[in-house]
Structures are given as structure tokens and as C-alpha cells.
Amino acid sequence: MPITEILKQNARKYGSEIALVEINPEVREDRRVTWKEYELIERGSSEEFRREITWSVFEEKANRCANLLVSRGIKKGDKVAILLMNCLEWLPLYFGILKTGALVVPMNYRYSADEIQYCADLADVDALFFGPEFIGRVEESIDKMPRVKLLFYVGDNCPTFAENFLHLSANQPSAFKDLPLTDQDEAAIYFSSGTTGFPKAILHNHESLMHACRTEQKHHGQTHKDVFLCIPPLYHTGAKMHWFGSFLVGGKAVLLKGVKPQTIIKTAAEEKCSIVWLLVPWAQDILDAIDRGEINLDDYDLSAWRLMHIGAQPVPKSLIKRWKAKFPNHQYDTNYGLSESIGPGCVHLGVENIDKVGAIGIPGYGWQAKVIDEQGNEVPQGEVGELAVKGPGVMTCYYKDPKATAEVLHGDWLWTGDMAMKDEDGFIYLVDRKKDVIITGGENLYPVQIEDFLRAHPDIKDVAVIGIPHPRLGEIAAAIIELKPGSATTEADIEAFCQGLPRYKRPRKIIFAEVPRNPTGKIEKPKLREIYGAKRLVAEQVGS
């Protein structure tokens, strides 16, 4: 069954009930208002921007989107991209695209103009929805994307090079004649990357999306009464696939635009949220704010909140001990996944296994997992190998990249590139990564991109970028820089040079030292990790 059928069912069963809420705690005078289902609410001494739509309106807006796309020639198998910040429009667009039989292609809102162009070409994008924040980047890249025939702007003050989606869709029928879709029909392309930093296009079918719904609901027992607080970006497979569990049962979701501790706690209380998915830094910030007295939990009614779960990066055991001390009634779960396995849930801790915090857990609902050697044979318990997973959520392939597909898909098994071990109870612990990707605050950084940028500095002879541990972000990027002889370049000079990088890609630590290379010319990053303490150890996870 295609996932679009769930939206139809929810609209039929819960049509007048609230499906989605958007909350922006920082109201700006120049805020571009799109759909009119909104209100400004005074809460205490502040105002916040709040919009909501019912399940019937959600379905109608998806239908109007689908009708517009079909009227413009979009057909089954075409590719339609979404480049938006989290907002009330995002999910109706997603489902509207799927209704047409086209593939939805979510794009990272941090992409530069060059990255937008690269990913659009890679995924054969035919149409693009974009918001106010991306006008400049889209305008800069549009001449380099000849395949993109349709540009729809989602917002007020539409630029001249695009069409105003909100005006056009308002004139479309609110009903849509559904196309026949099967589980094996292609549904979505998500982007990932390896150590080179060049994104790969990950192709998933409708079965993958539906399995994400079922897996999440089985793990966390969502009911129609649950309220899911969604903070991470919707372009990612993480938060959206967790929301899919609530979507399956018609539960309400709150899209929060803000990660300040007070904002999260306030929203959870006022919206009666029962499920909150966090990243490690956000959980740490909440606990620190409580310890500093900036948040008094007695001021909030958090009685509805039953589950806090975390994914996207390793979870310190000490963090969950602190959390349970402050929120003793909360269930907790760790989620492991990757975009190639339709996001979180192929391995998870399980709310009943709180004593195993530190592990990523056991195979999720409908999944299998094993730890293997380089030949694909399972390694003995306690030994380190590569984690492989198998289940209905494994990607179809890397789109148009059979070589890369063959490297990770071995029969029905996906080789994840993550090194792991199993304990005597069958629980899996991550040990290290084959890939050099740095996970900082739940976001991936690709060292080669940063290294290539730094190598343009005239005084840099060689450079290597690695991840080193950070108490709040999990890891940060550290640049080991070998200067040319006689250079007087300082750390401040390098930091000034790095202003040319997006903020999240700038190295947080600069180390002037020799960059070791092996006889074949490759940087010896394992050696650098040992020198600078970046090697991830199982001891902290399994031990104290």
C-alpha cells in the first residue's frame, strides 16, 4: 500500500482534528506569511507565530499540489525537489508529489548554490519547490539546471524567475484522482555522502516508506492521542520517519522552529506533547539550563510527555543517567539508522532495555542485523566488524550509480560502513566508522570538502580534518595544518580565512602539526585520531 493511502484514511477518519501545528517562537516583522491558517498568540510576555491545519485540510492541500503538478505535465517517475525550511507547507507538498507517482526529492536547506545544482542534476530533478530563504541560491544555480522546467515559489513576494505556488494551487481542485501505485514503485530520493563529500542519491520505493511507519509505531506504541514534537529538519530521513509512526495512527505533530531549551520545554508543555525526539546537544542544553536554574520544571505541566528518544549520533551513557534523574517517568530509546535504510529504526535500544544504554541496541521491527568481516562472515561475539542490516527499508540502489551500489548492497544486506561489536546479550555497540564522516550535533561534515577549501590558503602545505570528541556536539571538526616553511600564519589567520565556509563547516579547532601520510600518499587519519584523542572507544559505552 502506498503511504499516500494513510493520509486519505486520516482525512476520512479524523478530518476535523488538528494534524499539523507550526510554531515559530521568534516572530519577525518581515515574516513572510504563506497559508492563512495562522494566529499570533500572546503567551506570557512574548508572542509566537502559530499555524495549524486539520487532516482534511492537509489532504486538500496535498491534492491541490498534485493537481497543479499533473496539469503542468509531471507524471509518474518524474522527480520533484523540495527546498524549504521546516514549515506547515512541507509535508502537504511531500504527499502531493507522491500522489502524482513522481519521486519526491528533499534537499538539505544548508546546500550552497553549487550543491543545489549538483543534486538536481544527480537526481534528474524536473521541478523544484523553494522558499524565501533560498531565492538567491536558486537564482544563482538555475541557469546550470536545464532539466528543471518548473520552479514553484512557496511564499509571498515571488521572484520573477519562478511561479507563485500558493496562488496557483489555490485555484486547483481539492480532490485528486489517485493513480495506481504499488509497494515496488519508486517513491523518493534522499541524499547522503561518503568520505569524498559528494552526495549520493538514495532511491527508495513505497514499501520503504510504509515500513518506516510500521517500524516506528511498533517501537514506540504511538496512539491517536499522542502528540509528536518535531524539531529536526524534515529533509532528513530521521525526524520525519519518526513522525511516520504518529502519522500511521493519525496523531498530531508540532513543528517547532527553534532549539533553545526554554522553547522546547515551553512548547512540550503548552502543546501537551507526549513524544519528543532530540539530538544529544539539545538534551544536554536542556539539562544544563535546568541545573543553572534557567528552567524550573515546576513551572510547566509536562505530564503528557512520556517518551524522549535520541538518534543521529552516539549517545553518552552519562547523559541518559542525568536525563532520567530529572525526568524519572520518561521512557527512553536510542535509534540507529542511515538514509540507505530509510532512516532510524533498523537497530534500536528499545524502551524496555534502559539498562543497556550505551548500545545502539538490537534489530528493529522487521529488520535483521549482523556484525561481519570483510568477506561478509559474521564475527564472534565481542569482536569488531562492520554492521550489516537487512529489511524492507533498505534502499533500492544509489540512483544511477551501480558501482557505489555494489559496494554496499550484497544480496539483501546493506553494509553500513559502521564498525560495531555485539555483547553477550546480542546488543550492538558502535566502535568506529569506516567512513571519515564527522557527526557534529547530528549533522554530517565531510572532511575532504573542508580540506580542499583550506588547501587554497597560500601558506598551507598540507591539511587533514578529523573529528574529535566534544561533550555537547558529540564531535567537532579539527583541522591539522602543516604550514609551509617560514610561514607566520596564525590560528586567527586561519579562522579569518574560514569565513568563506558555511558556519557549520568551519573547523572548531586548529592544530599546527605535521600531516602524516603513508607510502601511497594517503593521510594516516587513524594515527591522527590516536594522537589527538579522536578514536571512539566502546569503554565509555559498555563500562561505567
Q: What local confidence, expressed as pLDDT, does residue 533 receive?
A: 67
Is residue 285 domain-resident? no
Secondary structure class of 50 (helix, strand, coil): strand
End position of a domain, from candidates 412, 433, 454: 433
User: Do residues 122 and 214 share a domain?
Assistant: yes
353 and 476 assigned to the same domain: no
What pLDDT is attached to residue 447?
A: 81
Q: Return the C-alpha cell found at 527.
A: 594515527
Statement to judge: residues 406 and 464 lie in one domain: no
pLDDT, mean of residues 78-100: 97
Average pLDDT over residues 213-227: 96
Q: Is residue 395 within 8 Å of 341, Cβ to Cβ?
A: yes
**266 lies in some domain:** no
Are residue 345 and residue 443 in the same domain, yes or no?
no
Q: Are residues 219 and 245 in the same domain?
A: yes
- Check residue 178 and report its DSSP letter: P
Q: Looking at the structure, tell me whether residues 42 and 188 fall in a common domain.
A: yes
CATH code of the domain covering residue 102: 3.40.50.12780
- Section 394-415 average pLDDT: 97
Residue 438: pLDDT band with limits 50, 70, 90: confident
450 and 518 inside one domain? yes
Instruction: Give the largest Cα separation in the chain, rounded.
Output: 73
* Predicted local confidence at residue 315, as pLDDT: 77
Count: domains in the chain: 3
What integer best gives the mean pLDDT of the chain?
89
Q: Beta 362-363 vs 150-153: how paired, if at all?
A: unpaired
CATH code of residue 374: 2.30.38.10
Which of 399, 416, 433 is the last residue before a domain boundary? 433
Asked if the structure places residue 98 within a domain, the reply is: yes
Whether residue 255 contacts residue 87, with contact meaning beta carbons closer than 8 Å, is answered with yes
Number of C-beta neighbours around residue 513 at 10 A: 13
150 close to 114: Cβ distance less than 8 angstroms? no
Q: What is the DSSP letter of 376?
A: S
In terms of domains, do 443 and 429 share one?
no
Mean pLDDT within 228-241: 90
Note down the domain range covering 374. Answer: 307-433
Are 407 and 443 found together in one domain? no
9-59, pLDDT tens digit by residue?
A: 999 999 999 999 999 886 543 444 444 443 433 333 344 589 999 999 999
Q: Which residue has the cell 496523531?
A: 251
All residues at 6 or more sequence positions from 323 whose CB lies less than 8 Å from its CB, including other chains: 283, 287, 308, 330, 332
22: CB partners within 8 A, 6+ apart: 49, 50, 51, 52, 86, 87, 88, 254, 255, 257
The domain that holds 453 is classified in CATH as 3.30.300.30
Query: Is 60 exceeded by the pLDDT of residue 521?
Result: no
Where is pLDDT greater, at 469 or 376? 376
Considering the domain boundaries, does residue 269 fall inside one? no
Q: Has residue 129 got a pLDDT over 90?
A: yes
Asked whether residue 298 is domain-assigned, the answer is no
pLDDT higher than threshold 90 for residue 511: yes
Task: Say yes or no: 127 and 78 in one domain.
Answer: yes
